[in-house]
Structure 1
Amino acid sequence: MIHHNAMKFIYFFLIYGLLQTSVSAQTPKADILFDNWEYFRAAKLYTEVAAKKPGAAIYFKLGECYRKMHLYRDEVAAYDKVNAFGLFDKSEFYLHYAVSLRSTGRDADAKAAYDTYCSLAPSDFRGPFLRAAIDIANTDHQWDVPVTMTNVSSVNTPNADLCPVLYKDGIVFTSNRKSPGHNKIYGWTGASYLDLYYAAKSKNDSNYTDVSPFGGSRIIKKFNDGPACFSQNFDTIYISRVDRDMSTTANLNVANKNALGIDRVKIFTSAMVHGKWTKAVPLHLNSDAYSVANPYLSKDGSRLYFVSDMPGGYGETDIYYCNREGTTWGQPLNMGGNVNTFNRESYPSEDAGGNFYFASDGYQGFGGLDICVALNKHGQLEKAIPLKYPFNSPQDDFGIMFLRDMKSGYITSNRYEGGTGDDDIFFFDLSKNTINSELTTTIYTIGYRPIKHDLPMPQIVSPTVSIAKQISMPTNFVIYFDLDKYFIRPDAIMHLDSLVTIMNDFPNLTLLASGNCDCRGGTDHNRKLAVKRSNAALMYLNGKGINADRLQGEGYGTKRSPVKCKEGKLYSSDMHQLERRAEFHLQ
């Protein structure tokens, strides 16, 4: 008979051997899941392995899963354990560690991690650049006049709810909430796929009711759909879509997946015909070699902005645009270095003044994705800078959208302060900020402190010092007209309504409208048409309650054309569209 202690000894090694076999089997399986972009399931296996056989390499892979899923607190917890084992052999770890530490408010630890990265990768500018951002953002980081961010609890869930856009009397937004027919799991996140939802505006308050799936089977497919944007009259939709979940193709390696080209985000469009959406079709901008996503249509419908990782960009993802050419879109053009950086830019949008907004983690902001703005100065975008708190937080902030009054709107954020789960939709209202009577000639633009200038604007930030430098704004607003027409187009109404708001807020302002034409047609005809265009705009403003004594109009024909037409030369429709306009100067 074997001695009792000997039996225990044998039993221990049997169990230990089984555990070691189990751990050895789980690690390769987790690695396969990781390589196949099933980060949710991979994280579960790495957690089990780490509990039985902890080590820096396992915790690093676990942290990478959480980083891919944007679970910053879990990411930091895993990276803390990597750091506890001593100097790690991958320098990139310290860059990721610093970013995640900052997102959870541990700025001192983040600086230390950046210092380690700088010593390991002294030639990489990202280390000192991002380290310096901590002190920059902590200096004069928020408005002196409080701006409240209100969680839109009637829409938000513990899941991701993001990127609302106006649609008729409500909003359309993107969500991975569970709902009937939308319960399949996305291998990347472990949540449901993204789909579009519609929420109707409550009649009694600013909340929303009756959240329901949007679009039907002609727009929404099996996998990720959204975000989306609409034309001004809501008869056309552009939507981001992933045709297939590549994390479910576990029998393929990464190289084969990329070769198949079926994991790319693409933009689809659909039109409303006889009260029904047509089957969504892909834009010719799409490619199997790179992604095209996050569409945003300019207010006049002449330009489509989007995000892409196509070759030749500044960083991981850049923002591009293309101009409308008849019934199709022109070639993609990069937004340039005043917008794009070495890192990621996404979620483009504009306001009525032509200022360009987007999200980025390539500026010296607050951490995570920050909402940035490039001011429109005389038709050219200045170098963008991040907005301040509370528009930005240490977590991800993106997808800013203005309502028609241009004083309120929405952002999306996964911030811990005021959040209910994953990405949430927040409402901001700037109209309650009072205007100092001594500052009636001060510019106000979202995210900046005002400066003295000729053009007053509604106050939406605190009247103190500038965030970084003196900012100026264009004194002209522009609307456009159809060929040989002078009626006010739907895309112009938003701009004119913004002028009404400004003139109501500043009753001492006067306005000069100047009508212009393209170089087709006779001189006398163009002069008369230009007068009709300026008068049409002034009649609209007068009809909205602006006294006629404050309004003045002129018609210039082609005298102020930005296109210097030469006889016998053909010009594109886009160039002629630039000529058919009315400009408004506030004074």
Structure 2
Amino acid sequence: MEKRIIILALLIIQMVNSQTKNKTADALFDKMYYIDAAKSYELSIKNGDASKEILQRLGDAHYFNTQMQDASKWYGKLLADYSAEVPAEYYFRYAQSLQGIQNYELAKKWMKSFSEKQKTTDSRAQNFSLKTVTLEDIKKIKPQFVLENLEINSAYSDFGPMFYKDNLVYATTIDSSFLKTAKYGWNDQPYLNLQLGKVSPTQTNVTFKERFAKEITTQYHEACVAFSPDEKTIYFTRNNYNGKLKRDNKGVNNLKLYSAKAVESSNGNVRWENVKELPFNSDNYSVGQPTISKDGKRLYFVSDMPGTIGSTDIFMVDILGEDQYSNPKNLGEKINTSGREMFPFITDKALYFASDGFLGLGGLDVFESRLNDEIFDTPVNLGAPLNSSMDDFGYIVNEETNKGFVCSNRKSGKGDDDIYSFERSCTQAIKGYVFDAISNKKIPGAIVTLKNNENQELQQIVSRIDGKFEFEENINCNTPYTIEVVKENFTTSSKALLTPENSGITEVPIGLDPNLIERKEGVLKIKIGIIFFDLNKSDIRYDAAIELNKVVLLMTQYPSVVIKIESHTDSRADDQYNLELSDRRAKATRDYIISQGIAPERIESAIGYGETQLINNCSNGVPCSEAQHQMNRRSEFIITKM
């Protein structure tokens, strides 16, 4: 887990442990030679020294080298013997190592203990205890990815893929051109160098092509690159090295970001020249793992510089011009946690990154934060099989093809870290709820039907007691569908939708109007039959009362509804006479409704408009049929408040 953090990018700020009596092991540990240090600490335990300091460092030596079985063993003993004396961070590391061996129930217990012991607010504990998303929810995420182990993977560490032209640049320890027998003490592997791989036409495999950018290669680590959109500038991570290694005041060699320019020869070969340090590097902290926005205007990277929220955070700078950058800006608490955020990859649609500070399946998990108007959404775990109980990181994707690459040290791989190709299926889950559009109350027992663009029925379900529904099968992305909802005493509703271009959940609330409600040009009206009056009279007849009782019924069922009454005549007879007659009829209608128990204040107005609002061309002097005139003789009940 931790080896690639140092190798690639970012030194973890480790707790300062007291020195043990095993000075040889301490020296190895301080140099980050964890394999040899672990052996030496285990020898101390065999000789009877199982002190707190020995157990801490032995657990850490295995934890930093992703040996989770051994790490959980020694952390377990540490907490069994010294639980009251060790920092809360060891509770977290123990929980993480338990997740790494898929002991999720025990991990949950110790994460809770971590939360209780941590006296200050720690986002890791908060994220693991969120009630909105549980570990069970993440396990239930429908698989979106098909992974293939690549041909280029070796028994050592292969990771850090990045697109370059039609190829793939990646870091590996399999072929170190400088002192091939030299090993990195952290994990007893050769130093990392960059390679160029040929991507197969199906983008499912990569074969070795040649060493990449030999001119920027040193005898130490180079890894994790990014390219400007025109691919004429490379940004890469390297040990703090300029002829010799530089160390901070603690003796640590930090990592830095460098840039270089492509110089193309007449035969098409590219050399990378003019290597420069980026101005926000420092000898006192690490900077690395670059990614460039699609427009080339922003550079994202990982660092433990001052202002870091957790162990390592994702930062951003604006690229202002040739070798000119803004001051680094932390992406903030929505993205960064008290844990580790690293391996960012930015597209025009999302930020992808690895983290152990959010709820996950173990170690580092890959998360996606959708990008909306330059604002990052809450990160979402991408689930298995992309994520596993081990470390999963280094995710890059072509958003157009949904194909890309990801890294993992899962046990099914060829070696330490392996690179996998993947294809991401794009599916949507459609769910929602049915509600009464007037009262907003949820409607159970509605028949909800999903139809395709050809009006063919795909699925049919019934809304639950809380009005909610969810179609069982995943739905295609970027595809038109129609949802039809039918319920007795309500008007059937059909809602067209176009699913988003990316996988996720589309929530569709659907409101149903009662049968007595109609919507016309955005206006809500109570729908009843024609109100008949005797010639030249405004008295409420028996047949008119039957229709008006429907208005009374609806207003009784929906006590918050307020209406206004409008009465109209046809164009026959004198204009002023029609205006006065319609007004008397409107007010007679109002009085009848009030007489049936409706509060007067719920009728906003009752006004007659005569022939001033004809709905056809049957004005004065225009010959029309009786049916055409009848269309204009109407009473309308308009809902003004619900």
Instruction: Note whether the superposition's TM-score is higher than 0.5.
Output: yes
Q: CA separation in 1, counterparts of 2:122 and 2:366?
A: 22
Match in the other structure for 1:559: none
Match in the other structure for 2:421: 427
- Answer with 1 or 2: which has the greater Rg: 2
Q: 1:438 to 1:183 in 2, by over 3 A?
A: farther
The structure 2 residue matched to 1:69, chosen from 58, 65, 69, is 65
Q: Is the 8 A contact 2:228 2:234 kept in 1?
A: yes
Match in the other structure for 1:98: 95
Q: Is the 8 A contact 2:427 2:475 kept in 1?
A: no
Q: Is the 8 A contact 1:98 1:113 kept in 2?
A: yes
Q: Is the 8 A contact 2:341 2:353 kept in 1?
A: yes
Q: Is the 8 A contact 1:363 1:385 kept in 2?
A: no
Match in the other structure for 2:136: 139
Q: Is the 8 A contact 2:293 2:348 kept in 1?
A: no
Match in the other structure for 2:374: 379
1:405-461 Cα distance to aligned partner (Å, 9 max, x none): 341111112223x3223222122213587999847898959xxxxxx9966444646
Q: CA separation in 1, counterparts of 2:119 and 2:326?
A: 42
Structure 1 residue 221: Cα displacement: 1.0
Which residue identity lines up with residue 201 of structure 1 in the other structure? V
Q: CA separation in 2, counterparts of 1:261 and 1:47?
A: 25
| 2:225 is aligned with 1:235 | no
| 2:169 is aligned with 1:175 | no
Q: 1:339 to 1:86 in 2, by over 3 A?
A: closer
1:95-151 Cα distance to aligned partner (Å, 9 max, x none): 221121122111222233335445544555468536526994432325665434423
Q: CA separation in 2, counterparts of 1:134 and 1:82?
A: 30
How many residues in Structure 1 have an aligned counterpart in Structure 2?
Answer: 425
Match in the other structure for 1:271: 261
Q: Is the 8 A contact 1:266 1:286 kept in 2?
A: yes
Match in the other structure for 1:345: 341
1:482-514 Cα distance to aligned partner (Å, 9 max, x none): xxxxxxxxxxxxxxxxxxxxxxxxxxxxxxxxx
Match in the other structure for 2:217: 220
Q: 1:261 to 1:415 in 2, by over 3 A?
A: same
**Residue 324 of structure 1 aligns to a residue in which SS?**
strand
Q: 1:167 to 1:189 in 2, by over 3 A?
A: same
Q: 1:455 to 1:164 in 2, by over 3 A?
A: farther
Q: CA separation in 2, counterparts of 1:94 and 1:380?
A: 34
Q: CA separation in 1, counterparts of 2:108 and 2:80?
A: 17
**Residue 59 of structure 1 aligns to a residue in which SS?**
helix
Structure 1 residue 311: Cα displacement: 0.9
Q: Is the 8 A contact 1:134 1:366 kept in 2?
A: no
Match in the other structure for 1:336: 332
Q: CA separation in 2, counterparts of 1:454 and 1:377?
A: 20
Structure 2: stretches of 5+ with no match in the other structure:
1-18, 265-269, 431-449, 454-473, 479-494, 509-642
Which residue identity lines up with residue 230 of structure 1 in the other structure? F
The structure 2 residue matched to 1:310, chosen from 294, 305, 310, is 305
Which residue identity lines up with residue 339 of structure 2 in the other structure? N
Q: Is the 8 A contact 2:204 2:421 kept in 1?
A: no
Structure 1 residue 303: Cα displacement: 1.0
The 5-angstrom pairing of residues 115-130 of structure 1 reads 115-118=112-115, 120-121=117-118, 125=122, 128-129=125-126
Q: CA separation in 2, counterparts of 1:194 and 1:133?
A: 39
Q: CA separation in 2, counterparts of 1:361 and 1:114?
A: 12
**Residue 156 of structure 1 aligns to a residue in which SS?**
coil
Q: CA separation in 2, counterparts of 1:78 and 1:324?
A: 46
Which residue identity lines up with residue 60 of structure 2 in the other structure? E
Match in the other structure for 2:153: 156
| 2:393 is aligned with 1:395 | no
Which residue identity lines up with residue 154 of structure 1 in the other structure? E
| 2:163 is aligned with 1:166 | yes
The structure 2 residue matched to 1:186, chosen from 161, 184, 187, is 184
Q: CA separation in 2, counterparts of 1:154 and 1:325?
A: 40
Q: Is the 8 A contact 1:137 1:366 kept in 2?
A: no
Q: Is the 8 A contact 2:123 2:357 kept in 1?
A: no
Which stretch of the first structure deviates more once superposed, 300-309 or 261-270? 261-270
Structure 1 residue 227: Cα displacement: 0.7
Match in the other structure for 1:44: 39
Structure 1 residue 314: Cα displacement: 2.1
Match in the other structure for 2:492: none
Match in the other structure for 2:197: 199
**Residue 317 of structure 2 aligns to a residue in which SS?**
strand
Q: CA separation in 2, counterparts of 1:444 and 1:112?
A: 39
Q: Is the 8 A contact 2:153 2:418 kept in 1?
A: yes
Q: Is the 8 A contact 1:344 1:362 kept in 2?
A: yes
Which residue identity lines up with residue 414 of structure 2 in the other structure? T
Match in the other structure for 1:210: 208
TM-score normalised over the length of structure 1: 0.64
The structure 2 residue matched to 1:363, chosen from 353, 358, 367, is 358
Q: Is the 8 A contact 1:198 1:211 kept in 2?
A: yes
1:371-412 Cα distance to aligned partner (Å, 9 max, x none): 222222233222323222223222222221112634111111
**Residue 31 of structure 1 aligns to a residue in which SS?**
helix
Which residue identity lines up with residue 214 of structure 1 in the other structure? F
Structure 1 residue 50: Cα displacement: 2.3
Q: 1:349 to 1:108 in 2, by over 3 A?
A: same
Q: Is the 8 A contact 2:32 2:185 kept in 1?
A: yes
Q: 1:188 to 1:407 in 2, by over 3 A?
A: same
**Residue 389 of structure 2 aligns to a residue in which SS?**
coil
Q: 1:192 to 1:133 in 2, by over 3 A?
A: farther
**Over the residues paired in the alignment, what is the CA RMSD in angstroms?**
3.6
Q: CA separation in 2, counterparts of 1:129 and 1:352?
A: 30
Match in the other structure for 2:539: none
Which stretch of the first structure deviates more once superposed, 310-319 or 203-212? 203-212
Q: CA separation in 2, counterparts of 1:111 and 1:432?
A: 31
Which residue identity lines up with residue 28 of structure 1 in the other structure? K
Structure 1 residue 215: Cα displacement: 0.9
The 5-angstrom pairing of residues 439-518 of structure 1 reads 456-458=499-501, 460=503
Structure 1 residue 187: Cα displacement: 2.0
Match in the other structure for 1:55: 50
1:141-175 Cα distance to aligned partner (Å, 9 max, x none): 25665434423230212222112111222201112
Structure 1: stretches of 5+ with no match in the other structure:
1-23, 250-255, 446-451, 467-587
Match in the other structure for 1:538: none
| Greater share of residues in strand | 2
Match in the other structure for 2:553: none
Which residue identity lines up with residue 318 of structure 1 in the other structure? D
Which residue identity lines up with residue 210 of structure 1 in the other structure? F
Structure 1 residue 83: Cα displacement: 4.5
Q: Is the 8 A contact 2:319 2:325 kept in 1?
A: yes
Which residue identity lines up with residue 82 of structure 1 in the other structure? L
Which residue identity lines up with residue 370 of structure 1 in the other structure? D
Q: 1:194 to 1:149 in 2, by over 3 A?
A: farther
Match in the other structure for 2:280: 285
